[in-house]
């Protein structure tokens, strides 16, 4: 990093699971640096969805470093997720054809439900002793023919409140786009509603977003929440994250019974 900025900059790790993010400071100026971010970052910056991209530079070893404007602010709290501001930004993201075209140019194809089920089926052998997992998978297969999506969008696919940054000037951003896909917007909407919004507030939140709570949308949201949760449980088992896995199993049981 010093090669790019010079020795006068103070560069420290920014945390995160990959270890590829840094904060650089010099004479009151502050940048957020990341190694090998997706080229997708440029269009996200242009649309005001992430903090402004300042520069992109390629290093001699082939790594690409991006620098973004550092913004003082805070991550959203769980109770913030019901706001009109969150719904409006997610609507803007899902309606952007520029984002879709950029991901297509990067080789992404729409994620289809049957492909998700086929992939999951291959991972289920070791779960024969867990009736809840089997029940969830049977439900997914039964509902599969009912899923309809007329318009695919760019989906963030990780609606955790920690990924929403509220700057001091009141501007809201959605960060950490490494898992972005072209998919049914119900992937994002469903996980956000099931995780953060009481059911009696769903219609109000969806009005902010610009959708009606139909039976079709309910089915799609629940379907994607169930399959995403199953994927999460598989990952948590692989990482031996027992406590988190038990929490995810409890969440899955709650969603299935809804």
User: Sheet harboring 21-26: ordered strands across?
Assistant: 10-13, 21-26, 29-35, 64-69, 53-58
The angle at the Cα of 180, spanning 177 to 183, to the nearest 5 degrees, equals: 155
185 and 227 in a single domain? The answer is yes
32 and 122 in a single domain? The answer is no
Which of 51, 70, 89 delimits the end of a domain? 70
Residue 61 Cα distances to 17, 58, 115, 152, 250, angstroms: 22, 8, 36, 37, 45
Catalytic residue, from 20, 63, 72, 158: name it.
158
Residue 206 Cα distances to 32, 67, 82, 97, 213, angstroms: 33, 35, 10, 21, 7
Residue among 120, 151, 143 nearest 255 (CA): 143
Sequential pLDDT tens for the chain (258 residues): 556 677 789 888 887 655 688 899 988 889 999 988 878 999 999 999 999 999 998 888 888 899 999 999 999 999 999 999 999 999 999 999 999 999 999 999 999 999 999 999 988 888 878 899 999 999 999 999 999 888 999 999 999 999 999 999 999 999 999 899 999 999 999 999 999 999 999 999 999 999 999 999 999 999 999 999 999 999 999 999 999 999 999 999 999 998
Distance CA 79, CA 198 (A): 10
84 and 23 in a single domain? The answer is no
pLDDT digits (tens, 9 = 90+) for 25-51: 988 889 999 988 878 999 999 999 999
Which of 46, 70, 94 delimits the end of a domain? 70
Distance CA 47, CA 49 (A): 6
219 and 99 in a single domain? The answer is yes
Instruction: Show the tokens assigned to 221.
Output: 């949201």
Alpha-helical runs (H) found in the chain: 2-5, 41-46, 84-95, 97-105, 113-121, 131-143, 186-196, 202-209, 215-238, 242-256
Residue 219 in contact with residue 146, Cβ under 8 Å? yes
Q: What is the CATH number of the domain that holds 26?
A: 3.30.200.20
63 and 79 in a single domain? The answer is no
3-class DSSP state of 174: strand
DSSP string spanning 63-101?
-EEEEEE---EEEPPGGGGGSHHHHHHHHHHHH-HHHHH
pTM of this structure? 0.91
Residue 158 annotated as catalytic: yes
* Domain encompassing residue 10: 2-70
Which of 70, 85, 119 delimits the end of a domain? 70
pLDDT at position 128, please?
Answer: 73
């Amino acid at each position: 990093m010093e090669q790019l900025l010079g020795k006068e900059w103070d560069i420290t790790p920014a945390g995160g699971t990959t270890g590829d993010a840094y904060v650089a400071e010099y004479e009151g100026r502050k940048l957020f640096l990341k190694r090998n971010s997706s080229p997708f970052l440029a269009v996200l910056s242009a649309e005001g969805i992430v903090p402004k991209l300042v520069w992109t530079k390629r290093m001699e070893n082939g790594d690409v470093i991006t620098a973004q404007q550092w913004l003082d602010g805070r991550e959203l709290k769980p109770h913030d997720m019901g706001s009109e501001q969150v719904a409006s930004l997610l609507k803007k993201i899902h309606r952007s054809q520029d984002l879709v075209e950029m991901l297509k140019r990067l080789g992404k194809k729409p994620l289809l439900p049957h492909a998700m089920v086929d992939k999951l089926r291959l991972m289920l052998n070791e779960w024969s002793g867990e009736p809840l997992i089997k029940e969830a998978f049977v439900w997914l297969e039964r509902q599969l023919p009912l899923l309809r999506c007329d318009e695919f969008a760019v989906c963030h696919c990780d609606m955790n409140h920690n990924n929403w940054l509220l700057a001091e000037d009141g501007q809201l951003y959605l960060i950490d786009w490494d898992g972005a896909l072209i998919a049914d917007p119900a992937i994002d909407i469903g996980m956000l509603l099931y995780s953060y919004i009481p059911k009696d507030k769903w219609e109000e939140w969806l009005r902010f977003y610009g959708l009606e709570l139909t039976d079709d949308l309910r089915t799609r949201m629940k379907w994607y929440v169930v399959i995403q949760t199953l994927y999460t449980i598989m990952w948590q088992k692989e990482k031996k994250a027992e406590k988190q896995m038990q929490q995810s199993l409890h969440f899955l049981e709650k969603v299935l019974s809804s």
